Amino acid sequence: MASAGKEDNEPYDDINITPMLDLAYVLLIIFIIMTTASIQGITVNLPQASAAPSLAKPKTKAVTITADGQIYLDTYPVTLPELEQRLGQYKAADPELPVVVKGDAAVQYQKVMEVLDMIGRLQITQLGLVTQKLVK
């Protein structure tokens, strides 16, 4: 009998964490419900935008230079003088004409500089150079 009494008075070596996990799950569910309820509770009457093309953002023109030096305006092959003429027409219609230049990594630097120089002569100020994001 003495040995049985000693076993009853020994301290526990393990802590039962099940009730703590239950409490954590309940708190997590309450947090999720409160967060989504506060976001969904805001109602706003949004104004309607007109579908008029004058309010639309101007269409960006893409100039692509392939590895062999061929120049494309959007998807149409052009020569440098044709590109200058067409961009000049687009610039006359829209003074804020945005242009992006996509040059192949293997293209000669001189070809890209000719295109950039021509864009500078047309006084196109909204110019972007497209690059590829470096993935590490």
For residue 109, the domain's CATH number is 3.30.420.270
- Count the alpha carbons within 13 Å of 32 in the hemisphere toward its beta carbon: 6
- Which pLDDT score is estimated for 53? 54
- Which pLDDT score is estimated for 59? 82
| pLDDT tens-digit profile, the chain (136 residues) | 555 555 667 777 778 888 889 999 999 998 888 776 655 545 566 666 666 555 455 688 888 888 888 888 888 888 989 988 998 888 888 888 888 888 877 777 788 888 889 888 888 888 888 776 666 6
Residue 117 neighbours by CB under 8 Å, 6+ apart:
none
Count the domains in the chain. 1
Answer yes or no: is 109 within a domain. Answer: yes
Answer yes or no: is 41 within a domain. Answer: no
Answer yes or no: is 34 within a domain. Answer: no
- Which pLDDT score is estimated for 25? 93
Answer yes or no: is 15 within a domain. Answer: no
Strand, helix or coil at 61?
Answer: strand
Query: In the chain, which ranges are continuous DSSP H helix?
Result: 2-8, 18-40, 80-93, 109-121
In terms of residue numbers, what domain contains 119? 59-129
Rg value, the chain, Cα: 33
